A and B are shown apart, each in its own frame.
Chain A
Amino acid sequence: MADFEVPKFREIPIIPEPHPGVMAHSKPFVAKEEFQKPLGYPGELVDNWQEAALDKMKDLLGKYRSLRLFLDICVKCGSCTDKCHYYLGTTDAYNMPVARQDLLRKVYRRYFTFAGKFFGKLGIPGFVGAADLTKEVLDEWYSYFHQCSQCRRCSVFCPYGIDTAEISMAAREIMDSVGLGQKYSNEIIGKVFKVGNNLGLPGPALEDTLEGLEEDVYDDTGVHVRFPLDEEGAEILLVTPSADFFAEPHIDGLIGYAKVFHEVGASWTLSSYASEAANFGMFIGSYENMRKVSLRIRKAAQDLGVKRIIFGECGHAWRVAYSFLNTLAGPFDFLDPNYPVPQHICEYTYGLIKEGRLKFDKSQNDHMVLTFHDSCNVARASRMGDFPGGQFVIPREIIKATCNHFYDMDPDTVYDSTYCCGGGGGLLTDDLIELRVKGALPRMEALKRVVEEHGVTHMAAICAICKSQFTKIFPYYGFELDSIVSVHQLVSNAIILSDQKKAEEEASETAEAAETEE
């Protein structure tokens, strides 16, 4: 199945012995000119790349005080070393967060600190942990800064709160600016600019897909649940990852959102212009590209005249939405101030559950025993609802309201200690499959434990990347590929649609009437 060794489950998850460089071969495809240019980057590695890279680093150090701070203050305490799923899964020492950071830090030291400049000129920069920016170093950057999913688990355990994600974002931005971009992320961002979403799904195809879903839901329930597109004057704009229109189990989550909106009679719409919640601009550390993607949502909201914006199940989109949207694309003073700007679909559904406006038949999910995978950007980079920890509590409360059987995984692997799925941060691409499989090890071990102890059959998630990653890598670890479900898929299964009840009652009345006539 694979031309690499799938890591074995560890009896006791001890910290593996480090093997420096065993993943040095792991590199994503480099973006060609056609994928670089639309983002404003050079088409190939520029001749004066070293000078350009240092200029960019200087620029970023000036813009982001945090970056300079993080590069300055690490004391090499070692807290982060065993916290990274990629280290645990690959055992490559450079995947210890501190070692990965140091690939950038040593260059920062060399050119931006007194000690580095001094010993660098003497030809012994290594004396102060500094290093010249050579082609080898650039290659190391390209390899190892694409072995960080920017999940920020290490930051939770860092006594200084050094954010590795910010460092890997900066490294990627520097590489992009000298013409060394990553194909997967950059091609996708280009598609958002051109077509409106990561998939490249044009308006008519989206319309056809949504019509198909209306038919499917009608066939299943006898209820005309609508999936409105580009409806001016709707109250709510739903912005969701385009994977929700395409992949499984994502699309079952989309059906869940629509059923919730239908049941409470909400006026909502999707937008073909802003048909993407994801924002890969964040993964490549590009403020400009992140802003351009975000502005599409603002424009769609204004053009359609909506009063509220709700985000579907997408991990990093929620980070961008919750933490950055107002800065990037605000102010949103044209929206209804009585609602959070923006709101998460889970927050919306949870609110309705608490108000008693949704009824569920939990037995519809009785064929499953559930656990929940906290997605890193939701868990560690945002909140949800109006209380601390809402991002952990709310999705679980929705699961418990819709399912009879739920068990959490090991506390060291959930909430803000959650392990990345292994495919986040712009790494969900087939050319990194070895990394993705290996990086999933800690999550797979935690899942295996609840499977054995509680008979868990399915894992729910609220992130398109997590869902696709697990679908792909489950079989490597002996799980069924469809053991991953959307949280709103559980809602969709269990929700009792009032219209369905009415339709069924009418049907049985008609049947009874027919019988009486006979």
Chain B
Amino acid sequence: MPIEVNGKVIETDEEGYLANLNDWSPEVAEAMAKEDGVELTDNHWEVINFLREYYDEYQIAPAVRVLTKAIGKKLGKDKGNSKYLYELFPYGPAKQACKYAGLPKPTGCV
């Protein structure tokens, strides 16, 4: 399921995650979200940017708890919980947000 962004065709895997993580750009995230019928707001971007920063350092997505704590610090305590993240990313913050952020899908019993 390749996606097209600014005339460039970008390869993804069966589940829509980027085949090549270097292909990511904010426009890619917008295009993926659009396919899911999601409009990315500033709050979505806080999550996506945090995921990308964390991934740069650790080569893995952060634990849900680490993510909620970081978002709570940035957006206010009432938003630092997984319920809020599920509102932003109804398919699950770990998976859907990782996809938009161009990270590989978290695997295992999660």
Q: Which A positions have Cβ atoms within 8 angstroms of B?
A: 29, 183-184, 187-188, 191, 197-202, 204-205, 208-209, 212-213, 216, 241-243, 245-248, 250-251, 278, 314, 428, 430-431, 464-465, 467-468, 472, 481-482
Chain-A contact segment, one of B4-12, B24-32, B36-44, B55-63 = B55-63
Residues of B contacting A464 in the complex (Cβ-Cβ under 8 angstroms): 108-110
Binding site for A on B (CB under 8 A): 14-15, 58-60, 62-66, 69, 82-83, 86, 92, 94-95, 104, 106-110
Nearest chain B CB to A436 CB, angstrom units: 13
Residue of A nearest to B61 (CB): A246
| CB-based contact B58/A465 at 8 Å | no
Identify which of B60, B69, B110 gathers the most chain A CB atoms within 10 Å of its CB.
Answer: B110
Q: Do A468 and B109 have beta carbons less than 8 Å apart?
A: yes
Contact A205 B110 (CB under 8 A): no
**Chain B residues closer than 8 Å to A200, beta-carbon distance:** 60, 104, 106-108
Rounded to whole angstroms, the CA-CA distance of A191 and B104 in the bound complex is 13
Pairwise interchain contact B59-A205, C-beta atoms closer than 8 A: yes
Contact partners of A202 in chain B: CB under 8 A = 58-60
Distance of A465 Cα from B92 Cα, bound (Å): 16
Contact A209 B66 (CB under 8 A): yes
The 10 closest A-B pairs by CB, nearest first: A198-B108, A205-B58, A464-B109, A243-B109, A247-B110, A199-B108, A246-B63, A465-B109, A205-B60, A29-B14
Q: In whole angstroms, what is the CA distance A431 to B110 when docked?
A: 14
For the complex formed, measure the closest distance between the CB of A313 and the CB atoms of chain B, giving whole angstroms: 11
- Assuming the contacts A29-B14, A201-B60, A246-B63, asked whether A187 and B107 have C-beta atoms less than 8 A apart, the reply is yes
CB distance from A229 to the nearest CB of B (A): 14
- The reply to whether A428 and B109 form a contact with Cβ atoms under 8 Å apart is yes
Chain A's closest residue to B91 (CB) is A430
Contacts of A29 in B (CB 8 A): 14-15
| Measured CA separation A430–B59 after assembly (Å) | 22
Which residues of B have CB within 8 Å of A183? Answer: 14
Min CB gap B89→A, angstroms? 13
Q: Which of B14, B92, B109 contacts A278 (CB 8 A)?
A: B109
Residue of B nearest to A276 (CB): B108
Give 26 CB contacts A-B under 8 Å.
Answer: A29-B15, A188-B107, A188-B108, A199-B60, A200-B104, A200-B106, A200-B108, A201-B60, A202-B59, A205-B59, A209-B62, A209-B63, A212-B63, A241-B108, A245-B63, A246-B64, A246-B106, A247-B94, A247-B110, A248-B65, A251-B65, A278-B108, A428-B109, A431-B15, A467-B109, A482-B82
